[in-house]
């Protein structure tokens, strides 16, 4: 059987997608350099260890295996780091994507699902962000993703590729069966940090800013369960296979939660005290980023069904206790 190639399949979102793809009957092949991913989370297909920026390694992969579609998750994705290391971000995110697109064109692989981000929108001053919102990234990470989306469009026109660029809002939670989950080092994401604090692995939790123009003063985000993200990726491939037109789609829940709401939910779920301080705003953090995800729901015939704050934090907590 042809394989679907999951580049970055040993990482957080990638590994959940591998599981969902395998469950949909696909044969999965993971390509990952394990720089941030984990070998033990590659459970749903063979792993070829390699760097997407290594053109020869990518070419060899496509020569060796019959690949029917590409899911591209391998990227540098920390907003703060992207400001300090533009070279790393442009080289990895653009270079890796270009290597894959060239190999796809040479080997006539027709479909790519490319991980994009809400960071392409910057700081829009709207309640719900739709895909027609201006693209105005305010950091290097977001800029590289905008450029990758543009690159994919060019290759799609020249080589008749079909693509979906899911723009993730805040991926969160863990596989409800605890076969995979979030494991970053260093961890910068709010939910695992809260859970670390609940377990005493950190002294305290810092709320970055309580003077935003939001109901409780803390920043609001759209947290979407990683299992829902994974099912959207499978649906995106099915959409392209059924002749759907290439597009970028917001993946979120259209509901916002503030940092203070997360804190309360984490205390409830863990039944532990979380020492908390108010800290200054983190540079580059917008007050509110919430998706208008109606387009994805309509085109992919998809709805997030695991994304209540309670389920997200409960799954993340059970994973945290198992993993760390």
Burial 216-229 (b: 16+ CB within 10 A, else e): ebbbbbbbbbbbbb
Taking each helix axis from N to C terminus, what angle separates 12-23 and 226-241, rounded to the nearest 10 degrees?
Answer: 50
Is there a catalytic annotation at residue 155?
Answer: no
Can you tell me the distance from the alpha carbon of 183 to that of 104, in angstroms, rounded to the nearest whole number? 30
Of 111-119, 127-135, 249-257, 264-272: span binding ligand UFG (CB under 6 A): 111-119
Of 31-39, 244-252, 281-289, 302-310: span binding ligand UFG (CB under 6 A): 281-289
- At residue 263, the 3 state secondary structure works out as helix
Q: By CB under 6 A, is residue 221 in contact with ligand UFG? A: yes
- For ligand UFG, the binding residue among 102, 130, 206, 214 (CB under 6 A) is 206
Burial 252-269 (b: 16+ CB within 10 A, else e): bbbbbbbbbbbbebbbeb
The terminus-to-terminus CA distance of the chain in angstroms comes to 37
Our CB check for ligand UFG shows the closer of 221 and 225 to be 221
Q: What are phi and psi of 131, to 5 degrees?
A: -65, -20
Of 44-52, 85-93, 200-208, 311-319: span binding ligand UFG (CB under 6 A): 200-208
Residues 6+ apart with CB under 8 A from 25: none
Catalytic residue among 12, 89, 121, 141: 141
Q: What are phi and psi of 115, to 5 degrees?
A: -65, 110
Q: By CB under 6 A, is residue 119 in contact with ligand UFG? A: yes
Residues 146 to 175 in contact with ligand UFG, rule: CB under 6 A: 169-170
Q: How far is the CB of 258 from ligand UFG (least distance, A)?
A: 8
- For ligand UFG, the binding residue among 112, 118, 249, 265 (CB under 6 A) is 118
Q: Which of 273, 263, 278 is nearest to 309 (CA)?
A: 263
Q: What are phi and psi of 270, to 5 degrees?
A: -85, -20
Q: By CB under 6 A, is residue 285 in contact with ligand UFG? A: yes
DSSP 218-262: S-EE-EEEHHHHHHHHHHHHHHHHTTPPPEEEEES-S--EEHHHH
Q: How far is the CB of 41 from ligand UFG (least distance, A)?
A: 18
Q: How far is the CB of 169 from ligand UFG (least distance, A)?
A: 6
Our CB check for ligand UFG shows the closer of 134 and 243 to be 134
Q: How far is the CB of 31 from ligand UFG (least distance, A)?
A: 21
- For ligand UFG, the binding residue among 53, 289, 291, 316 (CB under 6 A) is 289
Active-site residues: which are they? 141
Interface ranges with ligand UFG (CB under 6 A): 77, 79, 117-119, 141, 169-170, 188-190, 193, 206-208, 219, 221, 259, 282, 285, 289
């Amino acid at each position: 059987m042809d394989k679907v190639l999951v580049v970055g399949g040993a990482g957080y979102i990638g590994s959940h997608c591998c599981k969902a793809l395998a469950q949909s009957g696909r044969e999965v092949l993971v390509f990952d350099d394990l720089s941030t991913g984990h070998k033990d989370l590659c459970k749903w297909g063979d792993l070829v260890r390699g760097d997407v920026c290594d053109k020869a390694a990518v070419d060899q992969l496509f020569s060796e295996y019959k690949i029917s579609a590409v899911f591209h998750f391998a990227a540098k994705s920390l907003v703060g780091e992207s400001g300090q290391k533009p070279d790393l971000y442009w080289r990895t995110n653009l270079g890796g994507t270009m290597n894959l697109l060239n190999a796809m064109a040479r080997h006539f692989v027709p479909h790519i699902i490319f991980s994009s981000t809400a960071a392409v929108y910057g700081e829009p001053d709207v309640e719900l962000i739709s895909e027609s919102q201006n693209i105005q990234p305010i950091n290097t990470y977001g800029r590289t993703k905008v450029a990758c989306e543009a690159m994919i469009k060019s290759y799609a026109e020249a080589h008749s590729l079909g693509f979906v660029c899911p723009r993730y809002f805040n991926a969160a939670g863990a596989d409800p069966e605890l076969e995979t989950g979030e494991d970053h080092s260093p961890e910068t994401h709010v939910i695992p940090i809260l859970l670390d604090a609940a377990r005493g692995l950190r002294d305290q939790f810092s709320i970055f800013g309580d003077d935003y123009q939001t109901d409780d003063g803390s920043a609001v985000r759209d947290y979407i369960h990683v299992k829902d993200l994974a099912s959207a990726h499978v649906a995106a491939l099915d959409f392209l296979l059924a002749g759907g037109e290439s597009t970028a789609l917001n993946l979120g829940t259209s509901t916002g939660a503030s940092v203070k709401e997360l804190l309360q939910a984490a205390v409830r779920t863990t039944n532990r005290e979380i020492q908390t301080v108010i800290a200054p705003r983190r540079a580059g953090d917008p007050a509110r980023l919430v998706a208008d995800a109606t387009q994805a729901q309509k085109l992919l015939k998809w709805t997030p069904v695991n994304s209540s704050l309670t389920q997200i934090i409960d799954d993340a907590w059970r994973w945290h206790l198992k993993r760390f």
